[in-house]
Structures are given as structure tokens and as C-alpha cells.
Structure 1
């Protein structure tokens, strides 16, 4: 493991360099360690550990403890360690003793990142988010390190479900990935840096996303109550199983889940029809299995699709189901992506992924830390015609941060009556109320029409609020 001298012990279970421990409600975490020293390297002597703030400052308190010995095993726990960065010094006394230092151990907040390619991050590695020691990643090879794009190296994964090459070719393919990969920028690092800027607490990203996966592939195993696997168990035959194993390996608790998935389900009618039910079941199982019934679930609504409409005929269906899920899962919040730019027909580009990371951070501030200055972003709440002729429609939004933007030339709305669209002459923000959009029509809107936002193939959308949270794709019936 990183930060350890292999001659000092046969095995070690505890802090490694850049590991982040999830703090509890009091802002602290327990840091446990257990080791078996090699023969002649302190196995029969006293082993003392010291935990020191890093960097050290005058007046800092050093925590020390002597490991308890049980046969050949030495173990102990630093209890109630406050949020911050530390280094661990392990000293075995005696002629054959040793001293080892493990730096960059942190107590902070862990976030689980899962879903498919837009969460994985496939932006071009041109001007990706710069790494920061405050933001770490638990990579797919179960190694902690500073978070640096790409965060997903599938052929280096511990769990075979992530491999993209046969076992016999995996090592060679992994090496080639390191030489030639040019894509892999994502949203995670920007999200982590925004959270660190907000509260000064180290951030750990547990990356579990995998491109091309459907909601069916993320289904939890059926049957009796599942339990969080032990850190040593190897549940690698499913994406859910791999995720649970990796959660166990990082302590079993996280601050929130960041989720971006649904593209694959939009290609098939049966998959799309089952999407909402599967997502609800996934969230319920995850919360139950890790014992966090109120775990915040922050998820992205699908972005726009620029390709052939026939390839993903249920794209809007998934988007609309995602909008409905928010009301059915307490402690969940949707982040819209329909105004962001793409690198290809389906994937957000690097600059948009950075922007999305910042949007996720706004939601996390509100849902994880109770920050009342952070609303979840514009949500339609009411639609009313201002005149008997039905040519001026007021669309009111709630959960707006500041006011809606832009002030005029708002794009993305449409009104349909059957197969016919009603022309919109003007769309602008109400001059008296910054949470209302006013649509003016060239002719009266027939009854039983439907207002839509962000629907169709490659819509142009630009409605957002002062915190840069965008309005979601939605459909609203007009009486």
C-alpha cells in the first residue's frame, strides 16, 4: 500500500496516503489500524503510533497510542479525530524495530460517483480541471491518490466487471491506455474543489461509474436482505456488487451519491418503461444496504441528444421520468444539463463537465449541509394565461436562486396542440417577478394544449438561475 515500507510488516490494514475517512455528525472519524509485523521486525516488541496534523502548526496536539497486541497482531484506534489532514508515524521499538510515516491521511467527506459515461467523464483531456491535494480519489484499483483526470482506468480495476479487455490481455491494454488515452475529463474534481472551497474539509471521490451501462445492469441482487460486504470480500460479478465492495473498503458511509445515467435505457422501449421503477429500487436498496436511509441522492437529468432520433427514441421519456423521481425520493435532487454543450452526439464536453461539477456542488451545499442559500434550481409550479384570448402565458417557477436568466430571448419552450406547434412570438422574464417567464403567442393557444421545455431532438435551451442551475426538461398540461 502507498506510504508503507514492505519490509516492516507482512500485512497492514489502516490509513494509506491520501485516504479520506468519512466524518460523522460531530465532524470527527475513528481511524483504526491493524498490522502483523514481519519476523524480526518488531513482532514481539512495542509498537507506538502518532497522528500529527499536516502541515504542523504551533500549538497542534499530537495524538499517540500504543497498539494492543493479540498474538502476532497489533491493533488500535484513534477515536474522534477532527476533520483535517494528518500524517501517521508508526514506530516499533527494539533492535530490530522500524519507523514508517504515512502522509496525507484525511478526515473529511466522501462522495460516491456512479452511473455511466457522463459521470465517468469522457471529455477531451484539453484544459481539464487541475488537481488539488484537497480532493482525492479511490480509484478502481482500490488505490487512494490525488484526484486527477481520468478517474476511470477500467483495465486496472480490481473487479472484473469493469475490465474492457480479456484477462490475458488486460495488463497490456492497461499499459496502452496510459500511453495513448486522450479522453477522460469529468465533473468530479471541480465538484470536490467547490466543496472544499465551501467548508475547507478534504474530499474523497469513490469512483464507480462505467460507460454504456443500463439501469438493469445496476440492479441490486434480488432476494433476502443484502449486507455490506466485508472489506476483504470480492463481489465483482455486478456493478452494484462492485460498488458495495468498494464502499465497504472505504468505511461503509458516504456524504452523498452523485449519479448520472439513463442514456442506455433511452434506446429500448422496455428498458425505458422500466427505468423509473428500477431507479427507485436502486436508491432504496443502496440506502438500506449501507444503513443510511436519508442518504442524499443528487442526480443529473439527461443532456440533449444530437444524433439520429431513431437511435434513442425514448430520450425524452427518460428525462421526464427523471423529473418525476425527485418528488418520489425524499432527500433527492435533480440537476439539469440541457443547456450544456457536447463533445459529440451524446457526451458533455470538458468545459460543460466542469460547469456541471459546480452545479452538483450547489445542490450538495443545500442537501448535505442545510445551506438555505442554495435552492435546488428552477422548477415549474404554475402556468396561467393572463388574457381571455389565451395569447399571453405566465409560467411561474419555484426553487429559484436569485432570478431567472436571461432576461429576454429565452429559448427551449414549445406549446403543442396534437401534432401542431403554436408559434411563440416572444419569451422573456417577467419585469416584476424574477421567478416568472412570460410567453407571448402569435395567435390564441387552443385548449388541451401542452407546454413543454427542452423536448424534442437537439433543443436549444438557455433558462437558468443566478446560481447557474438550469431549468429541467418538463411537460405541463394547459387547460
Structure 2
């Protein structure tokens, strides 16, 4: 009897615990920009308090899993849950953003149990591109969180960037946006020591002012390799006319994942050239990369 009890205890001890925390992230993604990256899906003004409130609705595409982690404000890895930016953009009311649907989509491409995705929220609502320039608090905050994210051995795979609405308020800022954005991208790559870091930016769908087209010209005019643009124009907005709805954020997360899949994964692969919207992204590939994409759609 004692032998059977010992045998049972030994067998139970060898069964993996389903609640066991997975390994640290292997594939790390930086999320930066302003409110639409932080996530305002499902956030509306309460008719009772007249203050922004989140409806708490989490779509299936944003469901948590032990294989998607987020870097919390205290620089620890925790299981990712909406709202991703709750302790980062903490002065604002956060809701659904594109990060979770992006990560869940990417996770479907990966071998089960071998890949843990790490999301690094860094977006801050209401910020302009001038506030993200090299040496600024936001820039340094992004760098410090990026540096902390790789201490456990993971690799930064891409920067997801959604910003520009605050630069639509005057003509000068909108016209200078492209140059400032290029300097930001170049600086981040240099300081992270990842010169060909994949960057996926989002073409703005709205703005706080009337000069949206100037910002969009700057976004679509970026002439850096391994920079893609996903266009949010046309996605439904919340009643404020500025922020994407929950449904739109889920759709955007899928578009960002589609764009990421198009980056060559091998460091010696031919880089992508120039920016183009996801709807016509195939026009920016060199012939070899186009052939590679045709043969191996989910190569990355």
C-alpha cells in the first residue's frame, strides 16, 4: 500500500502543471504612438458622469493566453490582458487597441508551446511627433523599456507605430511631420542597434485638426527600408470622430499581422524598400522577395 501511494505521488509530480508560467518572451514587439495605439476601442463618455468609460467588452481576438505577455510599468512580464496600456497611458481611459489582436494572429503562425510573444506598451495619448524626438522623455522611455524587454533573452522583432493625429492641428507641423518621423525611426533603430528593425506604421484615419492630409503625405513618403504602412483610413470611428472602435482595432490588429508576415525573416534577405499601404504592399518588393512570399507566405 505504501508502495502504491509513493508511486501515485511520483506520477503526479511528473505531470506538468497547466498553471505553470511559460518561458519569457521569445518574440518581442514594441507598441508606440498615441491614443489609437494605446487603445480607445469601447471608450465613450458616460451619460451619467460625462467622463470617458470603457465598456469592458473584450472580443475573442483579444482574449488572453499564457503565451502572450506584456511588459508592465514595473518592467516585469505578466500575462497580457486588455487594456494593454492601463498602467502606461494611466492618465487616460484605455480600452481595446491593436496589440492583442495582432499578437493572437501572429501566435497562430508559430509552433505551439515554442513561441511566447512579448508586447511592450509605450504609447501615450495626445502626444505629437515632436515629443517623440531623440532625447525626449517619451523617446527615452521607449528605449529603456525596449532594453529591459530583452534582458530575459528575447529578440525585438518589430516596432508598431500609430501616431500623428496631434500633428494635424496646424499646417507647419503637418508639413514637417514626414521629416520628423524619419528622424525618429532612424534614431530608434540606431539606439537599439537594430539598423533594419522592421517598422509598421499606421496611416492615420482621423485628426485633432484640419491638416490630416499633410501628416498622411509625410507617413506615406517615408523612404526607409523595412518600413511598411497599414492604412486605417475608412475604419469606423467612435462617436468622438477621433478614435477607432473596438471592431476597427481588431481589424487593424489583423492588418498589422498581415504586414509583419511580409517581412523577410532571415537577416541576409533582401530588405523591403519604401512605404506602401497594405492593400498594395506587393508593389514594394524586389523580385526575389516577391517570389519568396509566393512560395512561403508565412515565412516570418
Corresponding residue of 2:257: 361
Distance 1:190 1:360, change over 3 A: same
Aligned-partner Cα distance in 2 for 1:263–1:369: 31
Deviation at residue 194 of structure 1 after TM alignment: 0.7
Corresponding residue of 2:5: none
Aligned-partner Cα distance in 2 for 1:321–1:148: 33
Corresponding residue of 2:211: 314
SS of residue matched to 1:366: coil
**Mapping 1:44-55, distance limit 5 Å:** none
Q: Does 2:232 match 1:337? A: yes
Q: Relative contact order (C-alpha < 8 Å, sep 6+): which is higher?
A: 2
Match 1:246 to one of 145, 148, 169: 145
Corresponding residue of 2:79: 146
Distance 1:250 1:242, change over 3 A: same
Instruction: From the two aligned structures, give the one with the greater helix fraction.
Output: 2
Instruction: Return 5+ residue gaps in structure 2 as ranges.
Output: 1-13, 43-55, 271-275, 286-296
**8 Å contact from structure 1 (residues 262, 302) kept in 2:** yes
Q: Does 2:281 match 1:377? A: no
**8 Å contact from structure 2 (residues 165, 206) kept in 1:** no
Corresponding residue of 1:324: 221
Deviation at residue 376 of structure 1 after TM alignment: 6.4
Instruction: From the two aligned structures, give the one with the greater strand fraction.
Output: 1
Q: Does 2:218 match 1:300? A: no
Distance 1:240 1:55, change over 3 A: farther
Q: Does 2:132 match 1:218? A: yes
Aligned-partner Cα distance in 1 for 2:76–2:284: 39
SS of residue matched to 2:109: helix
Aligned-partner Cα distance in 2 for 1:291–1:106: 22
Deviation at residue 366 of structure 1 after TM alignment: 1.1
Q: Does 2:21 match 1:126? A: no
Aligned-partner Cα distance in 1 for 2:77–2:83: 14
Deviation at residue 86 of structure 1 after TM alignment: 12
Aligned-partner Cα distance in 1 for 2:15–2:192: 33
SS of residue matched to 1:345: coil
Aligned-partner Cα distance in 2 for 1:193–1:163: 24
Q: Does 2:38 match 1:117? A: no
**8 Å contact from structure 1 (residues 376, 399) kept in 2:** no
Deviation at residue 203 of structure 1 after TM alignment: 0.6
Distance 1:198 1:163, change over 3 A: closer
Superposed CA deviations along residues 287-311 of structure 1, whole A, max 9, x for unmatched, are 1111100000101000145xxxxx5
Aligned-partner Cα distance in 2 for 1:356–1:107: 23
Deviation at residue 163 of structure 1 after TM alignment: 6.0
Distance 1:196 1:399, change over 3 A: same
**8 Å contact from structure 2 (residues 178, 217) kept in 1:** no
Superposed CA deviations along residues 57-111 of structure 1, whole A, max 9, x for unmatched, are 9xxxxxxxxxxxxxxxxxxxxxxxxxxx997xxxxxxxxxxxxxxx322352000
SS of residue matched to 2:69: strand
**8 Å contact from structure 2 (residues 22, 67) kept in 1:** no
Q: CA RMSD in A?
A: 3.1
Corresponding residue of 1:104: 22
**Mapping 1:21-420, distance limit 5 Å:** 56=16, 103-124=21-42, 125-128=56-59, 129-154=62-87, 164=91, 183-200=94-111, 201-221=115-135, 238-251=137-150, 253-304=155-206, 312-325=209-222, 328-343=223-238, 344-367=240-263, 369=265, 377-379=278-280, 398=283
Aligned length: 244
Corresponding residue of 2:294: none
Aligned-partner Cα distance in 2 for 1:238–1:279: 16
Aligned-partner Cα distance in 1 for 2:277–2:173: 28
Superposed CA deviations along residues 326-362 of structure 1, whole A, max 9, x for unmatched, are xx11001000111211113110000110111011111
Aligned-partner Cα distance in 2 for 1:264–1:55: 53
